[in-house]
A and B are shown apart, each in its own frame.
Chain A
Amino acid sequence: MEEFNYLAPESFDQAVVAKSQHAEKSRVIAGGTDLLLRMRDKVVAPSVLIDLRHTSLDKILISNGVMILGTSASLSQILENSEITQHFPALQTACREFAGPPIRNRATLGGNIVNASPAADLVPPLMAYDASIVLRASGGDRALPLAEFFTGPGQSVIAPDEILMEIQIPLLPASSAATFIKLGQRRSMAISQVNLTARLSMNNSDCVTDARIALGAVAPTPVRAHSAEDALVGEKLSEDLIRMAAKKAREEITPISDVRASLEYRLEMTEVLVRRALIATWKKQRRTKTSG
């Protein structure tokens, strides 16, 4: 690891100033569970680390129909939050299947996003829930849909002087349900071979009014399966329709082979898991209807 200066600003404003000052030479450190490994392997060598630990960016709250998650919220905090259980259960499922307890105590939501791994587990549920993010620089704030953030493996549109401040998710109508599924090489402490979230909104006659399918580890960035979504919207849900949508999702992705899985396996699993996620979501819909 190369030598670096370590700053732990007492406020977010100071952190933003430090970031604009040190720009390219600096990195924000949150939990450090990605960054420190990359520094050890000399993939990155920042000369300044800006630690967000004193900046109170870990709050989770609902305001004006929007859930706001501070970038530094840890996965454990997300798991414990009952409002997230109520509104965004698929995000919690993703947290539960993420690493193990020690990493979940340190790792942050913002770190998972800015790290921009195509396999990041929290991104598909956030994308399926239409999350947007707010970036701050000394010049001001910038909000954008999460889906527009990523540009490639480890690459995003974040500028060298920007810090991710918060993630915003609009509260959803009760008619919406979602399912997260992760496929890994073991049951915990696994980086996803494929991960995804499917979300469906439906009317009383089983007709899909809105659909989201967000996939990870099957393209250079997390992606939405738009043509699969389009195939569902406006249609009455059936097993055949779901099968067809799952096939379309498979056709939309561009996976690679690596040590975790082959390209072929990822294609195949995408179809299987999209189908399973849609069926599970459909079942959840029925359950909420019969119980409510």
Chain B
Amino acid sequence: MSDLAIVGKWTAAPGAREIVTGQARYCPDIQLPGMACGKLLYSPYARARIVKLNVSAARKLPGVFAVITHEDIPGENSYLYAEPDQPLLAVDEVRFQGDAVAAVAAIDARAADAALAAIRVEYEELPGIFNPLEAMQPTADQVLKGHDNVMMSQVYRTGDVDAAIESADIVIENTYRTQWAEHAYLEVEGGVGLVDHDGGITVYSSCQAPHRDRMQIARALGMSESMVRVITPYIGGAFGAKDEAHVQIHAGLLAHAAQRPVHLIRERRESILTHVKRHPMIIDYTTAATKEGQLLAVKARVIADGGPYSNSTHEVVNKCGEFIGGPYNVENLEVEKIAVRTNNPICGAFRGFGAPQAAFVYESQMDDLAHKLNIDPLQIRLLNGVETGTKMYTGVVVREASGMKESLNKAAKLIDWEKRDEIERNPKPHLRRGFGMATILKGAGLGRGLNDHAGVVLEMHRDGSVVLKSAAADMGQGIITVMAQLAAERLGIDIASIRVARADTEKAPDAGASCASRQVMVSGNAVLEAADSIRDTLLGLAVRKTKISKDRLDLRAGHLVVDGKPHEMTVKDLALRAGVWGYPLHAESISHFEYPTDVPEVTYRYSTEVFQFCTHIAQVLVDCETGQVTVEKLVAVHDVGKMINPGGVYGQIEGGIAQGIGYALTEELIVQNGLTKNPSLENYIIPMAFDIPELEMEVIEFPEPVGAPLGAKGIAEAPIIPPAPAIRNAIYDALGKPLYQLPMTPERILPVVNLDD
């Protein structure tokens, strides 16, 4: 195969100019004639009975077009991700601060505010259930009547864990705690609903899953899915929280009720209070090993607080369990996965889907083990790391694992790991420096047994220009660029000749959600297939015209290529010929995530089989008097299989590291008795440019052998996962004391500091 012309090369992302010059239109920028302002009334209580709900005064106010409550929903009054247990508008009880109670559409924001103020809600506050450990007790009051507070309780076992622990030279047992984390995307949730000529509803939605949105909107409206259309304008970040529906359903309901366009955008405070958070977890973890550091067994119990409704809790907690042993060869493993309902914030998807919590724990355990056994943290990881062909504790045989050890070795080299003791550890009496590493795996795709496919439509016109239609949402992560590159590569044109339509359910088939680092693989494969079909037609025409056999032909840089040399005939010429001769250059393809059948039986439910491997090493400086941690340097080595868009890959790594540093050190939603104390970016502390250290990044490429376009296996989630454990291990190295709770704030660090050490 000839070398690649476009894939793997730096390129300007389609739409980049619009974004940086402010021309790109996001949901808040959409203006339509007669458009009303929509707003929601949210519960101020963590738990309360709705004694009375009266909207008649609000309905009578001037400029108010619609006021709706649960009674006015024509279809089903629920979100539907996995279980339809969260009402769109509360019925008789509110179960978290932020449960929506009513929705209004009015002529402008002022009138909408007045309408909200005129809605009479009488609440009777109820004692909430805020502690997941108490909620788990059989005697506990039910958060959601008729539903067990324990919404998930599963045990997965492989091998003989108890016997392995019994025979071990060393057993380490700890309890870890993680926090609620907020996605803090630039663009908060929003949607614009409008009524079509035939009574159907179109919704512009800031989302990750347009087709699932369509299903949910249709359900709520009691309409067929064919009457609902979802379009994504530009989207300013999502990170998982927009995988689940938010206000786009209400935008559709209000447009239907008001029979006019409705603009419904949350404010930042509303956004923080109402969208799903990363689950706080309590994880008990036991590691058993030989005195040489060989892992024998892992036993873990994960308790996740999901808030009152299920959202994607099952999926997140299942993924946490799937990766709980890390990228290591662990023959005996037991994990108990428990998810609990409480009256705390709702929780769901967030970049990594439970893997960051798992990695914080298993990588902390690795360092505790290394310290206790006096083994170098690098060596203990190399000793236990999975290899190509390893049968994992999930039952999955890793098809390509070279990136695991290679990323460790490369990262160690980048930071000069062997010579780290030559660096001043104690630059001032109150300052301590340390180094810590973390190596992780994250599966791409939804998992075996789940519906995981994507479709695209590709058309080349007579002038050689191309339109690519896909319903894969691009929230800024760059799937549009990747799809354009892959199509351009196969069609021998430059990416500027390709227009990628923004996701629209009426233009393209379902591509599923942009989540689980899956779109490069599923949509990528669909694009290759569709492009190859058009390429075939073009080459067939070239054969007819030149009488040269097809195996000597190629398309590249806008030209037909014969035996590697450009021919005078261009791709445009061929496209024109196709048009004139009546060969439509139109292709559709639907690609399914590949799960080969010729492998041993997989035992972990919904396990993934394609893994991103990466290693981060952090250098930190701890101020032992203030507890402040400075991340001085961070090196990151990522195996992406094949890098399609370098700008996108490095961008994802940088962004993930920044978000990971926040998760490690400062980010924490402070929730007391179900009420969030810091629903603003003033007090929910995400890192800023000055908090990000010098980064050294390296990408390695071990092509994925099965089902990956050109070997590429995605990147989006992996980078957020290792910073927290790497920084934790570096703090351990600096202070000689381990920490077991995130985030590692100064006030949590100070108690373990002993300056006399």
Contact = CB atoms under 8 A, between A and B. Distances in A.
Does A pair with B?
A: yes
Contacts of B691: 186-188
Given A259-B677, A265-B747, A189 B625 contact: no
Interface string A243-281: 000000000000000011110010011001100000000
B370 interface: no
A102 B594 CA distance: 49
Given A183-B626, A272-B626, A259 B687 contact: no
Contact of A268 (B666, B677, B685, B750): B750
A201 B690 CA distance: 34
A260 B747 contact: no
B683 interface: yes
Interface in B647-696: 666, 670, 677-678, 682-683, 685, 687-691
Contact of B688 (A3, A189, A269): A189
Interface string A94-106: 0000001000000
B746 interface: yes
Given A185-B666, A268-B750, A100 B683 contact: no
Contacts of A188: 688-691
Contact of A186 (B685, B747, B750): B685
A185 B683 CA distance: 9
A186 B625 contact: no
B625 to A, nearest CB: 5
B746 A186 contact: no
Contacts of B682: 191
B690 to A, nearest CB: 4
Interface in B611-646: 625-626, 628
A186 B677 CA distance: 19
Given A259-B677, A265-B747, A186 B683 contact: no
Name the interface size band of chain A.
10 to 19
A187 B688 contact: yes
Contacts of B677: 259
A191 B747 CA distance: 17
Given A183-B626, A260-B683, A272-B625, A100 B678 contact: no
Contacts of B670: 259
Contacts of A186: 666, 685, 687-688, 690-691
A100 B750 contact: no
A51 to B, nearest CB: 22
Contacts of B683: 259-260
B626 A261 contact: no
Interface in A37-68: none
B430 to A, nearest CB: 9
Interface string A167-197: 0000000000000000101111111000000
Interface in B81-110: 110
Contacts of A261: 747
B666 A269 contact: no
A131 to B, nearest CB: 27
Contacts of A273: 626
Interface string B737-752: 0000000001100100
A47 to B, nearest CB: 15
B678 A259 contact: yes
B688 A100 contact: yes
Given A186-B687, A188-B689, A259-B683, A269 B626 contact: yes
Contacts of A268: 750
A3 B110 CA distance: 9
Nearest to B689: A188
A190 B686 CA distance: 10
Nearest to A272: B625
Nearest to A184: B685
A185 B750 contact: no
Nearest to A185: B685
A261 B678 CA distance: 12
B575 to A, nearest CB: 48
Contacts of B687: 186
Interface string B682-719: 11010111110000000000000000000000000000
Interface in B54-73: none
Nearest to B625: A272
Nearest to A41: B269
A261 B677 CA distance: 13
Interface string B471-503: 000000000000000000000000000000000
A262 B747 contact: yes
A188 B682 CA distance: 11
Residue among A187, A260, A262, A272 with the highest chain B CB neighbour number at 10 A: A187
B180 to A, nearest CB: 14
Nearest to B747: A265
A102 to B, nearest CB: 12
Report, nearest first, the 9 A-B pairs whose CB atoms are least far apart. Answer: A187-B690, A185-B685, A272-B625, A259-B683, A188-B690, A259-B678, A188-B688, A186-B691, A265-B747
30 contacts: A3-B110, A100-B688, A183-B626, A183-B628, A185-B685, A186-B666, A186-B687, A186-B688, A186-B690, A187-B688, A187-B690, A187-B691, A188-B688, A188-B690, A188-B691, A189-B688, A190-B685, A191-B682, A259-B670, A259-B677, A259-B678, A259-B683, A260-B683, A261-B747, A262-B747, A265-B746, A265-B747, A268-B750, A272-B625, A273-B626
